Amino acid sequence: EAPQPDHLNRELLYGLLDSYLKNDVVSIQESIVHHVEFTLARSRYKFDTREAYFAAAHSLRDRLIERWNDTQAWIKHKDPKRVYYLSMEFLMGRTFLNALHNLGVMQPYQHALSGLGYDMEKVQQAERDAALGNGGLGRLASCFLDSMATLNLPAWGYGIRYEYGMFRQVVSEGFQKEQPDYWLTFGYPWEIQRPHVAYPVKFYGHVSVHESQDGRQNFVWNAGEEVTAVAYDNPIPGFKTPSTINLRLWAAKPCQEFDLEAFNTGDYVSSIIDKQKAETITSVLYPDDKTFEGKELRLKQQHFMVSATLQDIVRRYKEQHETFDAFPEKVAMQLNDTHPTLGIPELMRILMDENHLGWTRSWEITTKVFSFTNHTVLPEALEQWPVSLVEKLLPRHMQIIYDINWRFVQELEQNHGISGDKLGSMSIILDTEYGKMVRMAYLALVASHTVNGVAAIHSKLIKETIFKEFHDIWPEKFQNKTNGVTQRRWLAQCNPPLNRLITETLGTEAWITHLDLLKGLAAHAEDETFQQKWAEVKVEAKAKLASLLKDLTGDDLNMDAIFDVQVKRIHEYKRQFMNILSVALRYDRIKSMTEKEKEEVVPRVVIIGGKAAPGYDMAKRIIKLISAVSETVNNDPDVGDLLKVYFVPDYNVSLAEVIVPGSDLNQQISTAGTEASGTSNMKFAMNGSLIIGTMDGANVEIAEEIGEENMFIFGVGAQEVPALRSQREYLQVDPQFQHAVNLIQNGHFGWADYFSPLIESITGSRDWYLLANDFESYLDAQERVDQEWRDKASWTRKSILSTAGSGKFSSDRTIHEYAEDIWGVEPLPPTIPE
Ligand code: T68
């Protein structure tokens, strides 16, 4: 329990800083050994590396808890407007190194551990990734938490504590196999279970109406099933600030109220088993990142998350306020895509049915607190739930959604003069041949005060395409918030040599919180000695990546080769297929060269990694194709060191922390208009990796910042895509494209039959993502890459300018904009009083 506001004052609170656990080497060793003995109950004379990790993690957690308790007490005392970031996914990765770094205790911990006989690097490796997300959307949420803490914002994250995170990808004979990621086996040392922070979450049943004395209708939801949501808190430290915010993840537990009758009369064992079913709600993360799947369990997860979260937020608000009048001044909620949209009818239900506010008042409050982010324009990803399912699972919510829609349609007719087909096209409820559907994005749009896209081009596109009619009536609701990534994890921590060089060159480490300062590097881009140092740092990072690949494959990489990387979820729109087609062509060219000609070839190591959704057949075939090409190329003595291709299995956050710094070139080659933003492009640019890419997503803004001439831009622009798509069958096919396709079709890499659906998908009018059309221009850009590599100084200069130009892409900038333009929350810096 946080201290009551009356008992708090600044002096008391910040006096505590002096009494915090000491961070000298001996104190840290004492606390590690203490945890070995008393938390792990192991002998202090005999513990292995994993136990050393757990003990060190617990000792660090103690230090996090001090700051976190004080931050929460301080926020409660000041009672500012708080922002709640609601997301079904948080792709956190590892915590240990990040917490050490943000708390500024890296050095003493390193010494403490080595003094006890443990290697910091190995201890770190003992931590498992918390992979509670699919990809960009989940990782963005995690970067945002880091920035919100660092910017001292009164912020919370809310999500689900899945027991099985993103599946583990195993590649066997070139085929993806999914294995469960039970990441909690040895316990998760960073979380704090809060058994007393628990709420009932209801499902199914029916709604009854009762007339109250004042003639008002009261709706009562008699649920058919109830589970308990239990809170697990995860402290999120800011960098160089005591501010430590909370990520609260909910786990489902059977509710306490057993039906005693069933025990005595019926089957005792099966009634307990029935109760256990509750836990399945939070058991597994859905691994689909782009196609909407209307599974009942997924809808249950969404309601479970938002219901527990809203009960918690309302409870916290009511502790300090008598009425709901101030709710919109105290609460902002950001919906990370439409996945938490049920929070809208849930808040309406809580206000009306449980707190007896009228519709108008409840709606006024609701529409002032929610805002929502769209992350894709791909129609197959947009959530549409069958009305029949929502009605069955959440009967009261379905009524409220109908009411929201009814009033919305009225408004369209009366205030905007809209009628007929257009009314139907804007309705939250869509009539289809399979029945009625709830369009979640429309529900989110109607109830949110703001909707944003995640890069300038994407925010423009949503206004012109998927949300056009809404933009026509409510232009003021639409904003852009270009994504960002945290430079703490994605530069300072994952690339220590570059961190040191930047700090030494700028004469300050202030860039770790003010990334714009990186532009100061541009002045040194031409400096030969600086270029030399820059190149050495890159070699160091490449060596780390090479050693990772050596462990995976046994191969020694050619360090003179361009390390050419494409790592991200496997998708047709991201065009890994186009990448591998060009690799096949490169291979074929080398094969036909004389030894003399080969001397001129710029060597490449092509690295591709990423997971395919388990049900995404095409994506799985693409993985097999990459593996097949890899198999042929890597074992061909004619090619030797000039070309290698690797598919890195189980791409995840921790692998990215090695792969990103170690790359020379990175591929961001989606069909223009399909990738909302991309965030790995920002990470690569920060680490001095050059981009070969299309004018899509955030690439457009990256080009503005670092200069198109310092990238390898190719392909058609988003504006040209619709017309090209309609002319697909008549488009000229580049002969080199045809040749690459033939190689695969003719079985050059084996498995010709298995690859034929892939070939069909890019043939003639089927080629939705315009591979054939962009191929020539792609090859041309690849040629420019090779040319550039031959001029080491010029390449290094561009690499420096990439980092120098990446200042805009800090999530600190993004979060600052959200806070100012959308949430209306202000930093609450924990400054020590004079
Ligand atoms: C990504 N979206 C965008 N979705 O593709 C990417 N979807 O361009 C953008 O940079 C990133 O979001 C951050 O804005 C996703 O990652 C999902 O993971 C997802 C998960 C479940 C359902 C739908």
Amino acid type, 338: T
pTM of the predicted model as reported, rounded to 2 decimal places? 0.97
DSSP SS3 for 181: coil
N- to C-terminal Cα distance for the chain? Answer: 28
Q: What pLDDT, on a 0 to 100 scale, did the predictor assign at position 263?
A: 66
Q: Which of 716, 693, 715 is nearest to 706 (CA)?
A: 693
Q: What pLDDT, on a 0 to 100 scale, did the predictor assign at position 5?
A: 42
Ligand 1 center to 567 CA (angstroms): 14
Q: What pLDDT, on a 0 to 100 scale, did the predictor assign at position 502?
A: 99
How much of the chain, in percent, has pLDDT values that exceed 70? 96
pLDDT higher than 60, residue 808 = yes
Ligand 1 atom closest to the CA of 483, numbered from 1: 14
Ligand 1 atom closest to the CA of 697, numbered from 1: 8
- 683 and 537 share one domain: yes
Distance CA 60, CA 568 (A): 32
pLDDT higher than 70, residue 7 = no
- 114 and 157 share one domain: no
Ligand 1 center to 134 CA (angstroms): 8
Contacts of 231 (CB under 8 A, 6+ apart): 193, 194, 197, 198, 248, 249, 250, 308, 312
- 556 and 446 share one domain: no
pLDDT band at 20 (very low <50, low <70, confident <90, very high): confident
The string of DSSP letters for 392-408 reads HH-HHHHHHHHHHHHHH
At 483, give phi and psi (nearest 5°): -55, 165
What does DSSP say about strands 90-93 and 370-373: parallel, antiparallel, or unpaired? unpaired
Buried b (16+ CB within 10 A) or exposed e, 136-172: bbbbbbbbbbbbbbbbbbbbbbbbbbbbbbbbbbebe
pLDDT higher than 50, residue 1 = no
pLDDT higher than 60, residue 6 = no
Report, as an integer, the average pLDDT of 254-265: 69
Ligand 1 center to 551 CA (angstroms): 31
CA distance readout (Å), 135 to 142, 371, 683, 807: 11, 22, 14, 23
pLDDT higher than 60, residue 381 = yes
The string of DSSP letters for 595-614 reads HHHHTTPPPEEEEEE-PPPT
Q: What pLDDT, on a 0 to 100 scale, did the predictor assign at position 272?
A: 79
Contacts of 554 (CB under 8 A, 6+ apart): none
pLDDT tens string 479-492: 999 999 999 999 99
- 193 and 57 share one domain: no
Ligand 1 atom closest to the CA of 698, numbered from 1: 10
Q: How many other C-beta atoms are found inside a 10 Å radius of the C-beta of residue 484?
A: 28
Ligand 1 center to 524 CA (angstroms): 36
Residue at 396 is within a domain: yes
pLDDT tens string 117-132: 999 999 999 999 999 9
Q: What pLDDT, on a 0 to 100 scale, did the predictor assign at position 260?
A: 64
Contact 619/603 with Cβ under 8 angstroms?
no
pLDDT higher than 70, residue 14 = no
What are 337's two structure tokens? 């895509």
Average per-residue pLDDT for the chain: 95
Q: What pLDDT, on a 0 to 100 scale, did the predictor assign at position 4?
A: 45
What does DSSP say about strands 155-160 and 643-648: parallel, antiparallel, or unpaired? unpaired
pLDDT tens string 274-284: 778 888 999 99
Pocket-testing residue among 132, 160, 376, 809, ligand 1, by greatest number of atoms within 8 A of Cβ: 376
Residue nearest to atom 20 of ligand 1 (CA): 289
- 195 and 303 share one domain: yes
Q: Which of 255, 282, 256 is nearest to 201 (CA)?
A: 255
pLDDT tens string 510-553: 999 999 999 999 999 999 999 999 999 999 999 999 999 999 99
Residue at 52 is within a domain: yes
Q: What pLDDT, on a 0 to 100 scale, did the predictor assign at position 154?
A: 98
Residue at 181 is within a domain: yes
Residue at 428 is within a domain: yes
The string of DSSP letters for 69-107 reads HHHHHHHHHH---EEEEE-S-EEEE--HHHHHHHHT-HH
What are 220's two structure tokens? 């009562």
Contact 333/371 with Cβ under 8 angstroms?
yes
What does DSSP say about strands 450-453 and 370-373: parallel, antiparallel, or unpaired? parallel
pLDDT higher than 70, residue 621 = yes
Task: Report the catalytic residues.
Answer: 375, 568-569, 574, 679, 683
Helices 395-416, 359-369: crossing angle, 10 deg rounding = 90
Host domain of residue 477: 81-92+129-482
pLDDT higher than 70, residue 9 = no
- 160 and 111 share one domain: no
Report, as an integer, the average pLDDT of 172-191: 97
Residue at 602 is within a domain: yes
Report, as an integer, the average pLDDT of 21-35: 97
pLDDT higher than 90, residue 457 = yes
pLDDT tens string 52-107: 999 999 999 999 999 999 899 889 989 999 999 999 999 999 999 999 999 999 99
Tell me which residues have their CB closer than 6 angstroms to ligand 1: 134-138, 140, 289-290, 375-376, 381, 454, 483, 675-679, 697
Residue at 821 is within a domain: no
Q: What pLDDT, on a 0 to 100 scale, did the predictor assign at position 109?
A: 98
- With residue 185 as reference, give the H or E element that holds it: none
Q: Which of 163, 219, 227 is nearest to 393 (CA)?
A: 227
Residue at 831 is within a domain: no
Distance CA 258, CA 227 (A): 11
What are 316's two structure tokens? 């916290």
- 538 and 398 share one domain: no
Ligand 1 atom closest to the CA of 339, numbered from 1: 22
Q: What pLDDT, on a 0 to 100 scale, did the predictor assign at position 834?
A: 37
Boundary (domain end) residue, out of 448, 465, 482: 482
Q: What pLDDT, on a 0 to 100 scale, did the predictor assign at position 17?
A: 61
What CATH number should be reported for the domain holding residue 509?
3.40.50.2000
- 346 and 313 share one domain: yes
Considering only the C-alpha atoms of the chain, give the largest distance between any 2 of them, rounded to a whole number of Å: 96
Ligand 1 center to 239 CA (angstroms): 26
Q: What pLDDT, on a 0 to 100 scale, did the predictor assign at position 137?
A: 98
- 570 and 656 share one domain: yes
Q: Which of 285, 322, 573, 335 is nearest to 448 (CA)?
A: 335
Residue at 165 is within a domain: yes
DSSP SS3 for 232: strand
Boundary (domain end) residue, out of 451, 482, 513: 482
- 36 and 85 share one domain: no
DSSP SS3 for 769: coil
Q: ipTM surpassing 0.95, yes or no?
A: yes
- 372 and 457 share one domain: yes
pLDDT tens string 707-734: 999 999 999 999 999 999 999 998 889 9
- Domain total of the chain: 3
- 449 and 557 share one domain: no
Distance CA 808, CA 812 (A): 9
Please state whether 435 falls in left (phi above 0), alpha (psi between -120 and 50) or beta: left
